[in-house]
Amino acid sequence: MSVELFGTSFNPWADAAIRLQLVVGFMTVVVMGLIYAERKILARFHQRVGPQKTGPRGLLQSVADAVKLVGKEDLRPAAADPWTFELAPYFVFIPIFLGFVIVPWVQDWNVRLLELGILYFVAISSISIVGWVMAGWGSDNRYAIIGALRAAAQGISYELPLVLALLSAAMIAGSLQLDKIVEFQSTVPLIVWQPLGFFIFFVAALAELNRTPFDIPVGESEIVGGPFVEYSGIRWSMFFLAEYAGMLIMAFVGSSVFLGGYSWPFGEDFGLPLQILLAAGKGGLFIFLIFWVRASVPRLRIDQLMGYSWKILLPFSFLQILINGFVLVYGLPHIVLLITGVLSLGLLFWVTEGIVQRPLEPRRRRARPTIVQEAEVS
């Protein structure tokens, strides 16, 4: 038994090892680039210049940061639970890393395209919550445990809309395998048929990645960094790497499921360079959107955050699945999906507006002196 790779056949184990090494190298380089890009782009959102001293235009800033982090002392608090504390970064990092298995970067460029790709992705990506809770629990720090519990609550509640949005897209595409979904979109991307699903996916992805405005688990202004308060050096950098790697994978899964990945708008017969350009452009667009939201929207409160997931996103993702079911069962034309999708997206915005503007507590009467009619009293 052997597997083809680069035109030569390998033992499956060796093949898997080579592919994973390639992905590790790619991921590390891209994460460093992402950190640099985030600092530069966020700086432009603040009308600043960003890093500029390290190397030409600050390009080596991430390298300098990495060297600094590796060189730092790896501390463990005396009262921390040693095993939980030391193992937590791996529990955060490995699930995200395993998620790279199913990403179809470009046509025929992947680790393994599983038949149940999306199911695998959502199953594996929710494991990292365990790592967050371990980090918070093992640190023996109150900020850390608060952050960990927030991360658990948020991660679990936003997992559902995320899964349902991905599933609604998979319903239309008729497959859970990511390259089949991409193939399906060679003429029209799924965002056209599933605008509501895309919106729900994007919001839930922001929450899953603990990005602003859903960054209450790590909110450094309230709980000083959340679960990784006590981490330093290489272990801390593993959390950081996991965060950005998660962003990368979420961007690529999102762009292959909703934006047509490498396929739309030129189809699959086009050359490799164009496909790479398309895939990278769409992933980059997705990541830019995440940065943009970070620069614009302030952090939510925990009750707003949970309420938004359970009261709005979850019912609307069920609505999307219901609509998809009707369309598929009765064989209605796809244009119905577009119309209902836009309408329900509008409904979602309208409901959100109502929820935001509704006061949290019953309205208080302003204390006013009551005019007592002298004549009636007497």
Partner 1 sequence: MRGIAKSMARTFAVFLRKPVTRDYPSYHKPIPERDRAFPLLLWDEGIDEPFCTGCHACERACPVECMTVLMKDNPNHKSLDGTSSRRKIIDKFWIDYARCMRCNICVEVCNFDAIAMNNTWEGHETSVYDRQDLVMDLQQLLSQSRTGNINEWVPVLGQTNETVSEADAEDSEVSN
How far apart are CB 48 and partner 1 at their closest, in Å?
A: 5
User: Which of 122, 300 has the CB closer to partner 1?
Assistant: 300
14 lines the binding site for partner 1 (CB under 8 A): no
How far apart are CB 49 and partner 1 at their closest, in Å?
A: 4
Distance between alpha carbon 293 and the CA centroid of its chain, in Å?
13
293 lines the binding site for partner 1 (CB under 8 A): yes
Give the DSSP letter of residue 205: H
**What's the CA gap between 36 and 21, in Å, rounded?**
23
Neighbours of 64 (CB within 10 A): 14
How far apart are CB 349 and partner 1 at their closest, in Å?
A: 4
How far apart are CB 363 and partner 1 at their closest, in Å?
A: 21
User: Which of 239, 308 has the CB closer to partner 1?
Assistant: 308
**What's the CA gap between 217 and 145, in Å, rounded?**
10
Among 356, 360, 371, 377, binds partner 1 (CB under 8 A): 356
Asked whether 239 and 231 are in contact (CB, 8 A), the reply is: yes
Please choose, out of 28-36, 92-100, 108-116, 348-356, the segment that lies near partner 1 by the rule CB under 8 A.
Answer: 348-356
**What's the CA gap between 325 and 119, in Å, rounded?**
19
Asked whether 255 and 261 are in contact (CB, 8 A), the reply is: yes
Please choose, out of 48-56, 81-89, 100-108, 269-277, the segment that lies near partner 1 by the rule CB under 8 A.
Answer: 48-56
Q: Which two tokens stand for residue 244?
A: 């950005």
Cβ contacts of 315 within 8 Å, gap of 6 or more: none
Among 26, 83, 292, 326, binds partner 1 (CB under 8 A): 292
44 lines the binding site for partner 1 (CB under 8 A): yes
How far apart are CB 298 and partner 1 at their closest, in Å?
A: 9
Please choose, out of 40-48, 128-136, 159-167, 367-375, the segment that lies near partner 1 by the rule CB under 8 A.
Answer: 40-48
152 lines the binding site for partner 1 (CB under 8 A): no
User: Which of 34, 145 has the CB closer to partner 1?
Assistant: 34
Q: List the x/- string, 52-81, binding to partner 1 by CB under 8 A.
A: x----x------------------------
Total residues in contact with partner 1, by rule CB under 8 A: 19
Max Cα-Cα span within the chain: 106
How far apart are CB 46 and partner 1 at their closest, in Å?
A: 8
Q: List the x/- string, 107-126, binding to partner 1 by CB under 8 A.
A: --------------------
User: Which of 84, 352 has the CB closer to partner 1?
Assistant: 352
Please choose, out of 86-94, 254-262, 288-296, 333-341, the segment that lies near partner 1 by the rule CB under 8 A.
Answer: 288-296
User: Which of 133, 203 has the CB closer to partner 1?
Assistant: 203
User: Which of 28, 52 has the CB closer to partner 1?
Assistant: 52
297 lines the binding site for partner 1 (CB under 8 A): yes
Note the residues at the interface with partner 1 (CB under 8 A).
41, 43-49, 52, 57, 292-293, 295-297, 349, 352-353, 356
